[in-house]
Amino acid sequence: MLAFPAERKWQLISADAQQEYEFERKRATIGPDADRSAPEWYVRKIVDGSISVKEMGSLSVSLRTQPIGWVKRFLETQGMIALVKVLTALSAKGVKNEADVTREYEIVKCLKTLLNNKVLSASPNPTLLHQGEHGC
């Protein structure tokens, strides 16, 4: 990235800004509840326990590929805490079937992506990491 010429860097910044604009425009017209690609939709599905393994895989991909603003909104809507709570519940189960193990794996992939993300490590709000410990 450092070796890119200034023109190429501006193209990347412009493309990211355009993608963020399109995403926000789409969100404003149909609302976050109906948008299956919105972070709020994923958090709601995680919390109510209706997220499928396939949707969890899609979340993992989204956490890696969506713009930074998307990941920030996922964190602000307590997405990481929801993932940790589901993982804790799954870990507490005595006997697990294959679906539980697959679900655990997908959650761990999501958490790994979040923990490696610069948004979380550069966050001025360290409570994003610790809210789940206190039941918040």
Burial class (CB in 10 A: 0-12, 13-18, 19+), 83: buried
| Residue-range domain boundaries for the chain | 31-134
User: Tens place of pLDDT for every residue, the chain, 136 residues?
Assistant: 678 888 888 888 888 888 777 767 665 554 545 567 889 999 999 999 999 999 999 999 999 999 888 999 999 999 999 999 999 999 998 888 999 999 999 999 999 999 998 776 665 555 544 444 444 4
Q: In the numeric block, which tokens belong to residue 125?
A: 């709000």
Q: Which stretch of DSSP H or E encloses residue 82?
A: helix 79-92
Q: Tell me, yes or no, if the pTM score tops 0.95.
A: no
